[in-house]
Structure 1
Amino acid sequence: METLETLLQQIRACRICEEHLPLGPNPVLRATTSARLLIVGQAPGTKVHASGKPWDDQSGKRLRQWMGIAPDVFYDEHKVAIVPMGFCYPGKGKSGDLPPRPECKQHWHQQLLTLLPNIQLTLLVGKYAQDAFLGSSAKANLTQTVTAWQEYLPHCMPLPHPSPRNQFWLKYHPWFETDAVPVLQGMVSSLFL
């Protein structure tokens, strides 16, 4: 059986969809077999592509605030695995970044997730992650899925994307930060006590 370390080396050397990537391949993910929390987001943006550090932007800052953890815990791959739906920056679309490339899910995700045996909580950040992981139990849209967050506990928790672009969503759904975020913080804290 393949080890996680070997698989991560293969993923980081991946060039499957290189011709579709405007900035070229630079797979950004983190994982170890001891990780207890899995964060599944969309795909790296340009800043993360440049730094190679996942969630190294304003979205990451807000996500860490929602989780109630400091950067040193968030970036401790022995505690937190970060596996986006697309490992490389997919390019710019009309209203933000393009969707994650499908090749990562097709070629890598199942192998990778099999090698993360200690995951107790998976945070599904955004619709792409929610649709992929929840399948038919995902609701018709992100708002409905996140509104039903309690249905997916204790193993998964769907979250809206923490991007500054989502300011209006958060403004019109204040219950997320008043009701869901405290539960999220409690669950994350209990993983690392």
Structure 2
Amino acid sequence: MSGREGQSFDALAARIRACRHCAARFKATATAHAPRPVLWAEPGARILIAGQAPGARVHESGVPFSDPSGDRLRAWLGLSAETFYDRSRIAILPMAFCFPGYDARGSDLPPPPDCARLWRAQLMEMLGPFDLVVAVGGHAQRWHLGAAARGGVTRTVARWREFAPEVFALPHPSWRNTAWLKRNPWFEAEVLPALRARIAELLGPGRNTARGARAASAEGAP
């Protein structure tokens, strides 16, 4: 990356990847693992996928959504893995960059709130505004939609027309939510077609970001 914006992002990304703020917290979990921040973004991306936190498989691979949940999410979005992982087009920023670990019962721990407080506002200021935010799960929805997401994930997802086309709220694509999908057939019948159409509109050939257009205009100005 070149230019001041790119250099600033590189410096911030390096700080995030080196972060060990939650080391003691993670050591105290059932998994007793070390921090491994997973950041997947570049300046200029039009779409943000805002998730919860990496799972155990992503902690090992260092690649976001490199698990069955990711397979389902890509199917929901209508994207190939190649496009999904193109950082120049899609940024993937979870609410916490590290795997939070498991509790004593083997359940996923929530993303530590310290992570978003430390890093998210800086990243959003540097990378945004995005033309589309895909907010996956309640943690991301509360951050990006505020009070509008307080009614819970199902209610927030059902109100998708209020937030589109700038934001689409999704349930987590975990296979544990298969029963939720069966109880809420409107999600696949109504929400996903609208979301796929919006993504195709943004990623189609010849599409430039508003930021890119402004930058090009500024460069050509006397």
TM class, shorter-chain normalised? over 0.9
Aligned amino acid, residue 8 of structure 1: A
Match of 2:61 in 1: 51
Tell me how far apart the structure 1 counterparts of residues 107 and 88 of structure 2 sit (CA, whole Å).
32
Tell me how far apart the structure 2 counterparts of residues 56 and 71 of structure 1 sit (CA, whole Å).
10
Deviations 1:63-110 (A, max 9, x none): 000100100000000000000001001011347311001111110000
Match of 2:111 in 1: 100
Tell me how far apart the structure 2 counterparts of residues 58 and 31 of structure 1 sit (CA, whole Å).
21
Tell me how far apart the structure 2 counterparts of residues 18 and 111 of structure 1 sit (CA, whole Å).
21
- Structure with the bigger percentage of helix: 2
Task: State which of 176, 179, 186 in structure 1 corresponds to 2:197.
Answer: 186
What does 1:48-127 align with in structure 2 at a 5 Å threshold? 48-93=58-103, 94=105, 96-117=107-128, 119-127=130-138
TM-score (ref. length: structure 2): 0.84
State the secondary structure of the residue aligned to 2:133: strand
Match of 1:149 in 2: 160
**Aligned partners of 1:121 and 1:156 also within 8 Å:** yes
2:24 corresponds to 1:19? yes
- RMSD over aligned Cα, in angstroms? 1.3
State the secondary structure of the residue aligned to 2:116: helix
What is the CA distance between 1:118 and its match in structure 2? 5.1
2:12 corresponds to 1:7? yes
| Residues 101 and 74 of structure 1, relative CA distance in 2, 3 Å threshold | same
Structure 2: which 5+ runs fail to align? Answer: 27-31, 205-222
TM-score (ref. length: structure 1): 0.96
**Aligned partners of 1:35 and 1:118 also within 8 Å:** no
Match of 1:130 in 2: 141
Aligned amino acid, residue 72 of structure 2: R
Tell me how far apart the structure 2 counterparts of residues 103 and 138 of structure 1 sit (CA, whole Å).
20
Structure 1: which 5+ runs fail to align? Answer: none
State the secondary structure of the residue aligned to 1:158: strand
Match of 1:28 in 2: 38
**Aligned partners of 2:138 and 2:149 also within 8 Å:** no
Tell me how far apart the structure 2 counterparts of residues 4 and 115 of structure 1 sit (CA, whole Å).
7
Match of 1:169 in 2: 180
Aligned amino acid, residue 68 of structure 2: Q
Count of residues in Structure 1 that have an aligned counterpart in Structure 2: 193
What is the CA distance between 1:137 and its match in structure 2? 1.6
What is the CA distance between 1:155 and its match in structure 2? 1.1
**Aligned partners of 2:50 and 2:136 also within 8 Å:** yes
Q: Which has the higher contact order (CA 8 A, sep 6+)?
A: 1
